[in-house]
Structure 1
Amino acid sequence: MSLGYALRRIIEEYPLARLDPPRGHPLGTVIRKGAPDEVRQALAALDGPFLVKGSPGRGAHWAAIPWIAIFDPAVTTSATRGYYLVYLFPTHREAVHLSLAQGTVAAYREHGPRALNHLRASGDRLRERIGDFADRLPLTSLDLGTTGDLPEGYEVAHILGLRYGLADLGDEGRLRRDLALGIDAYRALKARGGLEF
């Protein structure tokens, strides 16, 4: 398997997989283990301790938006708080986004009905903080194709990133270079104060 192949499998197979129970489903294993293993392999050339996790959902429910996330343990070890790099799979299943994003669940807990406004304003400030990456990570907004607290939170928590269509996933070298670039932006954000304003 390669990183591109793992990402393509998730895009193409997720709609049908959701018709079956998630427990023990082979695609759940790809999202939890196979794709994260490919991301870890791509990260091996980069210096630093990274934690990689994938989520197809919880318990008996598939996620509306599955994800594969890369965490710097000095920043966060969870997609619920802090900021991290993540592959997000929109519901239209024609693409995958590489997103430098903020954790959403902690924002909902802390800010309640004002969480989306908080994340949006914070994202604007963080985008300015790493503005020198804007031309190489030009995607500044996401449309994940569904509603609900988490998908809407993911959309407004996005800082910078890239979009890949299916045709883009055959270029393994590009995917690895882009991942390294995303890590550079992640590190720059950490070095420049992260979420502290």
Structure 2
Amino acid sequence: MSLGYALRRIVEEYPLAKLDPPAGHPLAAVIRRGAPDELRQVLEAVEGTFLVKGSPGRGTHWAAVPWLAVFDPAVTTSATRGYYLVYLFPADRERVHLSLAQGTVAALREHGPRALEHLRASGDRLRQRLADFAGRLPLADLRLGTTGELPEGYEAAHILGLSYGLNDLADERRLREDLALGVEAYRALKSRGGLDA
């Protein structure tokens, strides 16, 4: 398997997989273990220590938007808080987004009904702080094609990134270069003060 193959498999198989419970499902295993293993191998070429996790959902429920994330343990070890790199799989199952994103759940807990507004305003400030990456990571407005607290939170929490059509996932070299660029932006944000205003 390669990273591109793992990403494409999630995109293509997720709609049918959701008809069965996630417990013991082969695609849930790909999201939790197979794809993270591929991502770890790609990250071996990038200096640093990273934690990689994938989530197809929780318990007996598939996620509306599954994800595969890269965490700098000095920043966060969870998608709930801080900021991190994440592959998000929109509901239309025609694309994959690589997003430098803010933790959504912590913002929802802290800001309640104003959380999305807070995340968008914070994202705007952080994009300005990372203006030198805007041309190389041009996706500034993320759409996941589904409603709900978490998908809408992921959209609002997005800072910058890239979007891939299914055919783009065959270009393993590009995926590796883009991931290295995402890590560079992640580190730049860390060195420029992180989420602090």
User: TM-score normalised by the shorter chain: which range applies?
Assistant: over 0.9
Letter in 1 for 2:29: T
Distance 2:10 2:52 in 1: 16
Q: Write out the 4+ residue segments of structure 1 that deviate beyond 4 Å after TM superposition.
A: none
What is the deviation of 1:181? 0.2
Letter in 1 for 2:80: T
Distance 1:51 1:87 in 2: 14
Does 2:134 match 1:141? no
Identity value in percent: 80
State the match for 1:169 in structure 2: 169
Distance 1:7 1:154 in 2: 18
What is the deviation of 1:101? 0.2
What is the deviation of 1:156? 0.7
State the match for 1:5 in structure 2: 5
Show the 5 A alignment for 1:14-93.
14-93=14-93
1:31 counterpart SS class: helix
What is the deviation of 1:52? 0.2
Distance 1:167 1:9 in 2: 12
Distance 1:93 1:160 in 2: 20
Letter in 1 for 2:64: A
Distance 2:171 2:47 in 1: 23
- Cα shift readout 1:33-90 (whole Å, capped 9, x = no counterpart): 0000011000001111100000000000000000000000000000000000000000
State the match for 2:125 in structure 1: 125
State the match for 2:115 in structure 1: 115
What is the deviation of 1:93? 0.1
Distance 1:30 1:147 in 2: 25
Distance 1:45 1:91 in 2: 31
TM-score normalized with structure 2 length: 1.00
Q: Could you say what the CA RMSD is over the residues aligned between the two structures, in angstroms?
A: 0.4
**Count of aligned pairs between the two proteins:** 197
2:68 counterpart SS class: strand
State the match for 1:159 in structure 2: 159
State the match for 1:184 in structure 2: 184
- Cα shift readout 1:131-168 (whole Å, capped 9, x = no counterpart): 10000000001110000000000001000000000010
